[in-house]
């Protein structure tokens, strides 16, 4: 076989491989994980159901009742987590980005969260032992992620990388780990695994971590915010999102729909700053 023919074959294979892996650099993907406040505890309202088609969600579980099949992209009309979850910070995070970024940019969300769960449910050395002792209602949620929430998040993230570029990670978790001084190290282990397993660069993939219901709202886990505030010392490219003034529900554990909207906007405004957007508008 001549050198010229060999070169032609190689070029054809390269072109075919590019066609099979059509990644859009203008499709920004964000990974979301946590417990019930990232799932979305408050019911979404009519104003939350009008969504720009540039904002997408990669479905994590099958939801035939709302016409969604897992592993497929849909316009990000809530719910963005599982079939019967509510409005989440990710809703207005995505809306805020879409409203302030060029029309060519699309936003994609992946949300894998487990209500009531400690961060250990995402730890690859701890999820099995943690799940084994979890209450039945939580085991059912974990089961929707094939028994391993981290692995499911990773599977979806790898699928998303075929379509777009992972630009950040959103975390809202901590209520079940209140006053756990090792929490920051446990979060770091999950974040480091994502960076390694997805071949990412930590400097290019910030972690945005939201505070739990604030003391100014009578948050019953608000002492955890002191620990969350130290997360940037453990994971340098981390930004803590304040929950001050975000309204909460009667249980003082979850946010109201208005609280989720405001917290989500704050996540979005922080990300826009990191993306170099000056003077973003609050949407």
- Which residues, other chains included, contact 107 with Cβ-Cβ below 8 Å and sequence gap of 6+? 27, 28, 30, 54, 55, 56, 76, 94, 97, 98, 101
Is 36 designated active site?
Answer: yes
207: nearest Cα among 181, 234, 227: 234
37: nearest Cα among 204, 228, 176, 207: 176
Q: Which residues pair with 31 in a beta bridge?
A: 110, 169
Structure tokens at 172: 């809202």
Give the three-class secondary structure for 239. Answer: strand
The helix (run of H) or strand (run of E) holding residue 73 is strand 73-75
Is 172 designated active site?
Answer: no
Residue from 8, 192, 251, 252 carrying the catalytic annotation: 251
Residue from 36, 131, 176, 243 carrying the catalytic annotation: 36
Residue from 131, 176, 243, 254 carrying the catalytic annotation: 254
Is 254 designated active site?
Answer: yes
Tell me which residues are annotated as active site.
36, 251, 254
């Amino acid at each position: 076989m001549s050198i010229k023919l060999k070169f032609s074959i190689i070029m054809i294979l390269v072109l075919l491989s590019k066609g099979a892996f059509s990644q859009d650099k203008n499709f920004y993907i964000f990974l979301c994980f946590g417990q019930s406040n990232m799932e979305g505890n408050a019911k979404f309202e009519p104003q939350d159901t009008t969504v720009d088609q540039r904002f997408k969600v990669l479905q994590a579980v099958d939801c035939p009742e709302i016409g969604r099949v897992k592993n497929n992209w849909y316009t990000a009309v809530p719910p963005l987590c599982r079939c019967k979850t509510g409005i989440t910070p990710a809703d207005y995070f995505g809306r805020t980005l879409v409203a302030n970024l060029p029309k060519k940019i699309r936003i994609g969300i992946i949300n894998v969260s487990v209500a009531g769960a400690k961060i250990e449910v995402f730890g690859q050395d701890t999820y099995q032992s943690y799940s084994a002792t979890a209450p039945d209602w939580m085991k059912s949620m974990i089961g929707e992620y094939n028994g391993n929430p981290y692995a499911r998040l990773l599977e979806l993230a790898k699928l998303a990388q075929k379509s777009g570029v992972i630009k950040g990670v959103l975390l809202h978790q901590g209520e079940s780990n209140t006053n756990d001084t090792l929490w920051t190290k446990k979060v770091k282990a999950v974040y480091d695994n994502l960076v390694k397993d997805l071949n990412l660069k930590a400097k290019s993939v910030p972690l945005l971590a939201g505070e739990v219901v604030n003391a100014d709202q009578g948050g019953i886990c608000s002492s955890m915010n002191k620990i969350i505030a130290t997360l940037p010392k453990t994971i340098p490219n981390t930004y803590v999102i304040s929950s001050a003034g975000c309204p909460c529900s009667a249980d003082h554990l979850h946010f109201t729909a208005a609280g989720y909207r405001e917290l989500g906007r704050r996540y979005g405004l922080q990300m826009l700053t990191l993306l170099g957007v000056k003077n973003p508008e609050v949407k």
